[in-house]
Amino acid sequence: MSTLAQHIQREFPEGFVKAVEWRGDLTVTVRRESLHDVAGFLHDDPEMDFDYIVHVSSVDWPDDVERFEVVYEFYSIRKRHRIRLKTRVPESDCEVTSLTDIWKGADFMEREVYDMMGIRFRNHPDLRRILMPDDYDEGYPLRKDFPLRGKGWRDTFEFLDEKVL
């Protein structure tokens, strides 16, 4: 395991779940409760020094109990190393602590994750939809059970000779 992953495992033995290195990318999965602490450690620790947030993303695995995966990618400009931090949340309680107090750029990125996947972020300063209209209530578009053709008024039309996608 890479030294970065070992360092995180030493600091957070109960929060660390696993580390995978593939195609040159290091991915560390942690438990949801320790996400904020691990992220703070990644930002503040002088050996880690991850000052740049690259993106915040989410993946939907509908067959798993812990359905949603929240993915953060960080980069250190001074130390020049990357890390991907992941955590899983179940659908019944899809809430994660926001990291806007550590990286300011997480603001819009987390809003997009909320908009597209429905994952809420605790302590986010302004959690509302960003790409979809503010009052959109048909669901969360990037979930796997949301149809590609979209939902809404277009479905109320009847088309001739059409198979349902």
Binding site for other proteins (CB under 8 A): 22-25, 27, 51-55, 57, 59-60, 71, 73, 77, 80, 82, 84, 103-105, 107-109, 112, 116, 129-133, 141-142, 146, 148, 150
The whole-angstrom separation of Cα 14 and Cα 99 is 20
The nearest distance, CB 141 to other proteins, in angstroms, is 6
Region of residue 80 (left: phi > 0; alpha: psi -120 to 50; beta: else): left
* CB within 8 Å of 111: residues ≥ 6 apart: 124, 126, 127, 128, 129, 130
Q: Closer to other proteins at the Cβ: 77 or 160?
A: 77
Q: What are residue 70's DSSP bridge partners?
A: 58, 87
Min CB(29)–other proteins separation in Å: 12
Least gap, CB of 132 to other proteins (angstroms): 6
DSSP character at residue 112: H
**CB 63, min distance to other proteins, A:** 10
Nearer to other proteins, 34 or 73 (CB): 73
